[in-house]
Amino acid sequence: MRLKKVTSLALTAAMGMSLLAGCGGSSGETTAATEAGKTEAKTESSGGGDDTTTEAASGGQLVANHDTEYTVDFYNVAANFQGVQPGWYGKIVKDKFNMNLNIIAPQVSGDGAALYQTRCAAGNLGDLIILDNADFSECVDAGLVMDLNGIIQNYPNLMKFQSQIEAFNKQIGDGSGIYAIPLEMNNNGPTDYKQLHVYTYPRMGWDMYNEVGAPELKNTDDLLNCLKAIQDAHPTNDKGDPAYAISLWKDWDSNYMECVAQVTKWYGQEVNGSVLIGTDNSITPLTDKNGAYYKMLKFFFKANQMGLVDPDSATQDWNAVVSKMQDKRIYLYWYSWQYGFWNSPARGEEGVNYVEIPVADTNLYQPSDTYYGDGRVIGVGSQVSEENLARLMEFLDWYASPEGVQIQHAGTEGLTYTIENGKYTPTEDGLNRFSAEVKVPDEMGGGNWNDGNNMINQWIVASCDINPETGEPYSDQMWSTTLELNQTKTTKEWTEKFGAKDDVEYLLKNNMMTVVPSINMSLAIDDTDTSLIRNQTGDVIKEASWRMVFATDEADFEAQWDEMVSQLDGLGYADLVKFDTEKYQPMLDARKAAQ
C-alpha cells in the first residue's frame, strides 16, 4: 500500500443498479465521442516538449509546451508531506514535464479546516485538487473545479476508465460535466477482491507467535494475552530500545479516533461519519454499546491496562510509528501495507516476517477492490490557464499510463526491479525499499528512496489493475517472481499450520470475512448546521476516545463513555445520526443490487 495513508476515506459507496449494468470498463487505447461540436477523440499519447501551441486545432488533445518551468499548486487531502516533491520521483516529473509538484497538505498544515476554507474563499483551491467526494462535489457547485468534458476524452490512458469516470460525474453538478477523476480505479470488476492480503487484520511476527506457543486465538482477549507474552519476552528490540505490542498515533484522526475506526472492521462494521455500517447492510450509531467502535476502543483500553500500549501514542505522529516498525519496536500490525516496513524474503526465510494470525470470532468487513474509485477524486482548478491545462492533462494521462502506474506501484527499473524477456523481477533494494535505507544514485535523483517516494500519496489506477505490457498486476507484491521469492520458511509454515495458501483463502473458507461491493458515489453534503454538529461532536469523540484508552480502570472507562454520549446528545448527535443514516442508505440499496 500506499504508502498510502490509509486514513483513506472509510467511505466505500455503491451506485445504483443502472450504473452497474455494462460497466466492464474499456481496454487499450479507447476512443470516445466528445461533446457536441468537438471532433472524434485522438488515441495517441501526449505531445512532447518542443510543441508551442496549447490546443490542437482539431479540438483533440491539448498540446503542452514545456519551455517554461511550471510549479503546480497541488491541494491534496491524502498527502502526509507538504512542500515541493523531492527526490527520485520529483526528478522524473521534472525531467518529463519540466514541472514541480508543490503539495499543499491540509492534514500536516496545522489547521486543515482553516486552510481549506481560506483557499476556497480566495476562489483558488489549487491547480490540481484531491478531495474526498463530498467536498469535491461542493467545490464543483462553488465553481472551483474545471469541467473537462470535451477535453478528457482525448487522453487514452484516462479513457481506459471512461465508464467509471462518467458514472461518477453523473452524480455531481448537473450531471453533464466531467469534473472528477476517481482515484484507485481498476478494470477487474466491481465486486472482485484480488489482493494477496486483507486490508486490516491482526498481524504478528511469526517467530514471536511461535515462541509463545502459537496459541489458538478465540477472541481479542486471547490476542491480548498472546501479545502480553510476546512483550514480556521482548520488552526491547535487539538494539535495546523499548518495544510495545501496540503503538497508536493521532494525526490521522477525523471525527473519531482513526486507529479504533480501522479495527472495527474485524467485527463486521465500518465507521462512516456518525454511524457504523455492517456487512449485513445495517446502520447503527457509532455510540451503540453493542457496536464495534465501543468494542475496539475497549480492546485498546484493556491493552493499556496490561501495559501493552506505547506511552508515546498520544503525542507521536505516523512518521514516528514508521520508524518504530522499521526497528521492530511494535509487535501488532493491522494494515496489510505495514508489511513493507519489515517483511522481506530474507526475513521470511529466517521466520521473522509478520503474518496474519486468525482470531476465531472475527467477521471481517472487507470492501472489494475499488473498481469505481476509493472515495477520493482528483480534478483541475477552475482558475488554471489554457496553457497550464495542457500540461496538467498531459501529466494526469501519464499518471494513469502503464509507465506512470508501474513507477507508482513498483518504483524505477534498474533500481527496484529488472526486466528480462518481458518478466519483471524485484531487486533486493526493491523488496526492502520501505524497510531499509535504499540509496538512490545521483543520476536518478539521489538521496534515500523513501524520502523521494511519490508524496501525492494517491493514484488514479489501483495496484491490483493489470499492466497490459506484462499481463500481471502493477503491484510488485503480486508479480509471479515476487510470489515465488516469498515462498519462504514463514509462508510455508503458516500454510501448513492454517491449511490455506494465504489469509484471504483462510478467512473465506472459515466464513470469517464478508466482501462488500465497493462502488464509488458522491453522497449528501453537510449543510451548515450539520457541519457544525459534526465538528463539535467529532472533537468530543476524539478527545474522549483517547482519554478512554488511558482510563485508570474499567469504571473510569465506562463513566467516560457515558459522559461522552451525554455530551453528544446535548450537541444534537441524534440529528447527525439521522442525517448519516439517510445519507448512506442509497449506498446500501445499491450494494444490495450489486451483490
Average pLDDT value for residue range 21-33: 28
Q: What is the pLDDT of residue 175?
A: 94
Q: Grid coordinates 539521489 are at which residue?
A: 446
How confident is the prediction for the chain on average, in pLDDT? Answer: 89
Q: How confident is the model at residue 17 (pLDDT cuts 50, 70, 90)?
A: very low
| Mean per-residue pLDDT, 45-67 | 56
User: Cβ(425)–Cβ(480) under 8 Å?
Assistant: no
Q: Which pLDDT value is given to residue 134?
A: 87
pLDDT at 52: 35
Whether residue 7 is predicted with pLDDT greater than 70 in this model: the reply is no
| pLDDT for 195 | 87
* pLDDT the model gives residue 435: 82
What is the structure's pLDDT at 469? 92
Q: Give the model's pLDDT for residue 557.
A: 98
- The rounded Cα 573 to chain-centroid distance in angstroms is 28
Q: How far apart are CA 255 and CA 236, in angstroms?
A: 34
For the ranges 27-31, 170-174, 221-225, 473-477, the one whose mean pLDDT is highest: 221-225
Strand partners, 244: 330
402's CB contacts (< 8 A; 6+ apart) are 157, 467, 468, 469
When pLDDT is cut at 50, 70 and 90, the band that residue 521 belongs to is: confident
Report the range of poorest mean pLDDT among 55-59, 69-73, 101-105, 280-284: 55-59
Quote the crossing angle between the two packed helices 573-594 and 528-549, to the nearest 10°: 90
Q: What are phi and psi of 296, to 5 degrees?
A: -80, -25
The tens digit of pLDDT for each residue in 290-318 reads 999 999 999 999 999 999 999 999 999 99
Q: How confident is the model at residue 509 (pLDDT cuts 50, 70, 90)?
A: very high
- Predicted confidence band of residue 593 (pLDDT cuts 50, 70, 90): confident
What's residue 22's pLDDT?
27
DSSP-derived letter for residue 167 is H
In this predicted structure, what is the pLDDT of residue 459?
97
The three three-digit cell numbers of residue 535, written as one number: 465538528
Residue 202's H or E segment, with its range, is strand 200-205
* pLDDT exceeds cutoff 80 at 355: yes
pLDDT for residue 1 is more than 70: no
How would you label 571-580 residue by residue, b for 16+ Cβ within 10 Å and e otherwise?
A: bbbeebbebb
In DSSP terms, 216 is beta-bridged to none
What pLDDT score was predicted for residue 190?
82
**Per-residue cell: 559:** 463513566
pLDDT (mean) for 49-67: 60
Structure confidence at residue 525 as a pLDDT band (50, 70, 90): confident
DSSP secondary structure letter of residue 595? -
pLDDT recorded at residue 113: 87
Region 321-333: what's the mean pLDDT?
Answer: 97
pLDDT, tens digit, for every residue of 455-476? 999 999 999 999 999 999 999 9
Three-state DSSP at 461 gives strand
Note the pLDDT tens digit of each residue in 443-453: 999 999 999 99
Give the contacts of 53 (CB within 8 A, at least 6 positions apart).
63, 65
pLDDT per position as a tens digit, 130-151 = 999 989 999 999 999 999 999 9
Does 32 have pLDDT greater than 70?
Answer: no
- Which one-letter DSSP state was computed for residue 520? -
Beta bridge partners of 278: 269
| CA dihedral (408, 410, 412, 415) positive or negative | positive
Give the pLDDT band (50/70/90) at residue 194: confident
562-575: per-residue pLDDT in tens?
999 999 999 999 99
Could you give the CA distance from residue 222 to residue 218 in angstroms, rounded to a whole number? 6
Cell of 383: 482558475
Does the pLDDT of residue 51 top 70, yes or no?
A: no
User: In this structure, which amino acid lies at residue 138?
Assistant: E
Distance, in Å, from the CA atom of 307 to the CA atom of 137, rounded to the nearest integer, reads 45
The proportion of the chain whose per-residue pLDDT surpasses 70, expressed as a percent, equals 90
* 339 close to 491: Cβ distance less than 8 angstroms: no
Residue 133's H or E segment, with its range, is: helix 133-141
Place of cell 492533462: 393
Alpha helices in 414-527 (DSSP H): 428-432, 480-485, 489-498, 503-509
- Given a cut of 60, whether residue 79 has pLDDT beyond it is yes
- Cβ atoms 377, 136 nearer than 8 A: yes
Identify the band that residue 156 occupies on the pLDDT scale cut at 50, 70 and 90.
very high
